[in-house]
Amino acid sequence: MSRSAGKWLAGLSVIFMGFGFPAYLAYLAAVYNLNIWFVGIFTFLSLLGAAGIAVVYLGVSSEWIFGDDDEIGDRHKNVVETLQALVERMDELYESLKDIDDMLKMEE
């Protein structure tokens, strides 16, 4: 299963268990006079299940917890280097614009 499909599956199951099933139980309780204790217990279990699915999915899919630390370190290093190069380029542009501004002020 692809990572995207796993995200959708986990998201839909959390939505169903966290909202859909409790809403359906509330509907059954209102329309068909279902026992309120039954609705309460199964709603609570459904919310616990939705939270459990979310936690398990985050734990399983997270490379930060179970992944290769070297790969994460390399990614972090690449991002830091890219940002440093961007900051240096922005400093160069700022200095160039400052020089242009000084030249324009001298002409006035």
Same domain, 11 and 28: yes
Q: Note whether 30 and 61 are same-domain residues.
A: yes
CB neighbours of 35 closer than 8 A, spacing ≥ 6?
29
Provide the 8-state DSSP code for 84. H
What does DSSP assign to residue 38? H
Instruction: Answer yes or no: are the C-beta atoms of 81 and 89 closer than 8 Å.
Output: no
Query: Which residue is associated with the tokens 């979310």?
Result: 54
Say if residue 62 is in the same domain as residue 74: no
Residues 6+ apart with CB under 8 A from 33: none
Instruction: Report pTM.
Output: 0.54
For residues 14 and 50, the answer to whether their CB atoms sit within 8 Å is yes
Tell whether 4 and 30 lie within a shared domain.
yes
pLDDT of amino acid 27: 93
* 46 and 99 belong to one structural domain: no
Range of the domain at 78: 68-108
Residues of the chain falling short of pLDDT 50: 64
Domain count, the chain: 2
- Whether 73 and 61 share a structural domain: no
Q: Name every residue whose Cβ is closer than 8 Å to that of residue 100 and which is 6 or more positions away in sequence.
A: none
Tens of pLDDT along 34-60?
Answer: 899 999 999 999 999 999 888 888 776
Q: Are residues 59 and 72 in the same domain?
A: no
Examine the domain organization and report whether 80 and 107 are in the same domain: yes
Q: What single letter denotes the amino acid at residue 73?
A: G
